[in-house]
Structure 1
Amino acid sequence: MTVIFVFGSNLAGKHMQGSALTAKKFHGAVEGQGEGLQGSSYAIPVRDQDMKPLPLWHIARSVNHLRELAQSRSDLQFRVAAIGCEDETFSAEEIAALFKNMPPQFDLPYVFLTVYAGLSNPLHQTREVRAQNAAVEVIDGLLERFAHSKDKSEALLMAMMVSLQSVREIEGDEFVSQWLMAALKDTMGSRLNDALVVPA
């Protein structure tokens, strides 16, 4: 059975990022083709030629075309990306509703399945909450991994990097730059000022 990667695209067929870029790099998506079967991928447009979001009825029509293809091609298995939800253009509820009751050869993304099951959807979390949760999960894993190790420096360094990335997600690069400069001044004192002096 041939696996077809279903991705979100635009009517201009510019496969620049997210699942569209994945489809272009690995699944034969054709630049300039914004909808339909191409290589081992299938494009569902969620934006127009000017990259503005399409109305849901337009996306629903494209999903129906995909459904008709699936009904006529039992040899194809469709692996669907979280189209339209990757950049939060649409909510998972809006897009998941369009993919309900698809033929059995569809593998739907986790975020759609959580909607059908009435579970908490991770895309509902703010970027800040997702960053915090990711940092906590990784740091917990590091602590467990290095619990019996004599050298915990690697774990500490990795934990610092994860925490730094989390702060960047929440507060932005400008905050991180100022925070790092303040930390360096605390640890290096006057030596930092000397190091930052540019020779005349």
Structure 2
Amino acid sequence: MHITPHLIETLRPDEVFVFGSNASGHHGGGAARIAHDKFGAVWGEGHGHHGQTYAIDTMSGLDVIESEARDFVAYATAHPEYRFLLTPVGCGIAGYTPEQVAPLFTGLPENVSIPASFVPHLGAASV
């Protein structure tokens, strides 16, 4: 298991910054702003891979986060050429706890680093 660094200031060419967004892709604060300002997140795109980022809608409810997490796991699995740095999505501006969000990320492949705060809440089969 790989742990995502607490502070990410630069990325290697094969790394992707995975952050929480809103559905409309207005990246005005938190990790979304960092993704937009530093790593190529596209204003108006609140889902998926853009530049060296991957957006997960965390502002539309836990059911949406669960669906977005499944999509992300499938995408990361299909793209082993990348190292995905999953940040504690949903646990900032969205207001959820790691205990609520982490279990939604089941079946993570080896090329995904996880935030330390998620570790206690992921089952052994999840990583």
| TM-score over 0.5 (shorter chain) | yes
The TM-score, its normalising length taken from structure 2, stands at: 0.81
**Residue equivalent to 2:76:** 70
**Structure 1 residue 59: Cα displacement:** 1.0
Show CA shifts across 1:79-136 (max 9, x none). 011111023611111111112330111110111013348xxxxxxxxxxxxxxxxxxx
Helix, strand or coil at the partner of 2:90: coil
Name the amino acid aligned to 1:13. Answer: G
Alignment check: 8 A CA contact 2:73 2:107 kept: no
**Structure 1 residue 70: Cα displacement:** 1.2
**Residue equivalent to 2:3:** none
Distance 2:122 2:45 in 1: 31
1:103 to 109, 113, 117: 109
**Residue equivalent to 1:60:** 66
**Residue equivalent to 1:126:** none
Larger C-alpha radius of gyration, 1 or 2?
1
Helix, strand or coil at the partner of 1:64: helix
The root-mean-square deviation of aligned C-alpha atoms, in Å, is 1.6
Distance 1:88 1:114 in 2: 20
The TM-score, its normalising length taken from structure 1, stands at: 0.52
**Residue equivalent to 1:154:** none
Kindly, what percent of the aligned residue pairs are identical? 31
**Structure 1 residue 71: Cα displacement:** 1.5
- Of structures 1 and 2, the one scoring higher in RCO (CA 8 A, sep 6+) is 2
Distance 2:68 2:107 in 1: 15
Within a 5 Å distance, the mapping from 1:1-200 to structure 2 comes to 2-47=14-59, 54-87=60-93, 89-116=95-122
Helix, strand or coil at the partner of 1:57: helix
Q: Which runs of 4+ in 1 moved over 6 A?
A: none
